[in-house]
Amino acid sequence: MEVAARPKDSIKNRIVDILSNNAILFLMLLLVSVVAILYPRFLTLANFNNILNQISVIGCLACGMTFVLLIGCIDLSVGSMMSLIGIMAVTVANGGREWLAIILPILAAGAIGLIKGGIIAGVNGRLGESFITTYGAQSVLAALALIIQGGLFMMVTATGIFTRIGKGANPAYVFFALIVICQFILTKTSFGRKLLFVGSNPKAARLSGVNIKFYFLMAFMMCGLISGIAGVLLPSRVMSANPTAGTNYELEAIAACVVGGVSMKGGSGSFVNTLIGVIVIGVLSNSMNLLGLSSYPQMIVKGFVIALAFALDVVNKRRQMQRG
């Protein structure tokens, strides 16, 4: 009976499979066509460039967040980290040392990530512990961002390389390069495979001889480094640094990862998921701006899309499990 049933629903199933596996992408295509009909300018090269420019900083942040989510933790402090790094970078850049202004803050961000990872690894923490610890870190880093320059808004007065990295398509190149490199690390190296193993089941990983503390440390350090890159790109893009610039960016980054399909339970997801999520959220915001929707109804739509993306994912998995 089972054998007889197979060929009959396989064509239908295959279509359903394709649709449901990529449901969120199809929904986005639908949205794109609607907006394109209403606003022909939506489908221009200029707008395409705008979208890339708008998503890149959040994209980098989401890319770093993915490491932490893959290992089953969360980092709520990346937003305030970005504020702090931005202030540091502009301070150094305005002093004339522009290369240093790019490299030094990123390294500092990596070091801060290492400290956070050290605490989480030290207490064998997972989602819950990392949630509270990084919330504490958020408060500390946000305060430091305000303290080091007295809370002032800083203009970028540098004129060299530092002002160019955030302009035009450059942030997008950085973002795509990060996605490619991280995806390579995740899928093609033993480090990446072990990271996923530790994320999906830290106890099993420990029993099979993996040094799980090392992977927690590395995940948070990568997240720190990459949010440092985002922190340097942002002031270069807007030519100023604001000590509260990164407020709430962490939630945007998490939302992008989750919409793309990175699991909050750790061990499942990839940087391709993150890329999809970042693009979906970016296109959504851009379309809503073009439709003249103010930022408040936009919040409702975003919340709905997050729940929808997750529900679709769950339904899809359940369907696949039923069919074995």
Partner 1 sequence: MKRADISRLVKDNIIIIALALPVILLTMTASGFMTVSNIKNIFIQISLYGIVAFAMTISIIGGEFDLSVSSLLGVVTILFTDIAKRVNVPVAILVCVSAGIVVGLINGFMVSKLKINAFVATLAMMLMLKGFALTYTNGRPINFPNPALNAFGNGDFLGMPNITLFFLGAFLITWYVLRNTKFGRNVYAAGGNLVVAKMVGINVDFYKTMLFVILGFATSVAGVLMAMRLSSGNTLFGGDLTMSVVAGVVIGGTSLSGGRGSAVKTFWGMLFIGVLFNGLQRLAVQANWQDVIKGSILIVVVSVDAILAQKIPLSQITTGRKRKEQISALPRDV
Partner 2 sequence: MKKLLALILTSILIVSCFAVASAEAPAARKVFFTNAFFTAPFCAPLNAQAMATAAENNIELTIVDGQADASVQLDQIKTAIDQGYDGIIYFPADAAGSITIVNTLNESGIAYAIIDSKVDASVAETIPVFAGPDNVEMGRVAGRACVEQIGENAKVVCLMGSAGTDPATNRQKGFEEIISQYPGIEILAAQNVDGWDPAIAMSIMQDYITRFGDEIEFLFTHDDGIFQGAQQAIAAAGLTGKIKAVSTGANNVGVAAIKSGELYGSVLHSAKEEGQLGVEAVIAVMDGEIKNGDQEWFKCMSPLVTLENVAEWEGWGW
Binding site for partner 1 (CB under 8 A): 74, 119, 122-129, 131-133, 135-140, 142-144, 146-147, 151, 203, 251, 254-255, 258, 263-265, 294, 296-304, 306-307, 310-311, 314, 318
Shortest distance, position 296 Cβ to partner 2, whole Å:
7
CB-nearer residue toward partner 1: 166 or 282: 282
Among 6, 14, 167, 323, binds partner 2 (CB under 8 A): 167
Closest CA to 286 of 274, 300, 298: 298
Write out the E strands in the chain.
154-155, 240-241
**Residue 245 binds partner 2, judged by CB under 8 A:** yes
Residue 40 is encoded by which pair of tokens?
């022909």
Q: Is 41 in the site for partner 2 (CB under 8 A)?
A: yes
Determine how many CB atoms are found less than 10 A away from the CB of residue 255. 22
Beta strands in 64-122 (DSSP E): none
Residue nearer to partner 1 on the CB measure, 104 or 312: 312
Q: How far is CA 89 from the centre of its chain?
A: 21
Least distance (Å) between residue 231 CB and partner 1:
19
The radius of gyration of the chain's CA atoms, rounded to the nearest angstrom, is: 21
CA dihedral angle for residue 200, residue 174, residue 113, residue 195, rounded to 10 degrees:
20
Instruction: Work out whether 146 is an interface residue with partner 2 (CB under 8 A).
Output: yes
Q: Which is nearer to partner 1, 193 or 203 (CB)?
A: 203
Q: Which CB sits closer to partner 1, 38 or 127?
A: 127
Min separation Cβ 289 and partner 2, Å:
4
Q: Which stretch in 21-29, 99-107, 151-159, 204-212 sits in contact with partner 2 by CB under 8 A? A: 151-159
Query: For 160, which DSSP code?
Result: S
User: Is position 40 an interface residue for partner 2 (rule: CB under 8 A)?
Assistant: no
Binders in 186-215 for partner 2, by CB under 8 A: none
Whole-angstrom distance, CA of residue 300 vs CA of residue 142: 27
CA distances, 70 to each of 48, 67, 87, 223, 273 (Å): 30, 5, 29, 11, 11
Shortest distance, position 297 Cβ to partner 1, whole Å: 5
Question: Which of 240, 272, 310, 312 contacts partner 2 by CB under 8 A?
Answer: 240
Site for partner 2 (CB under 8 A): which residue of 15, 111, 152, 315? Answer: 152
Select 18 or 140, whichever has its Cβ closest to partner 2. Answer: 140
Residues in a beta bridge with 241: 154
Rounded Cα gap, residues 165 and 237, in angstroms: 8
Q: How long a stretch of residues is the chain?
A: 324
- Amino acid occupying residue 223: C
The span from the CA of 112 to the CA of 141, in Å, is: 10
Footprint of partner 2 (CB under 8 A): 39, 41-42, 44, 46-47, 50, 53-54, 57, 142, 146, 150-153, 155, 167-168, 234, 237-240, 242-245, 247, 285-286, 289-290, 292, 294-296
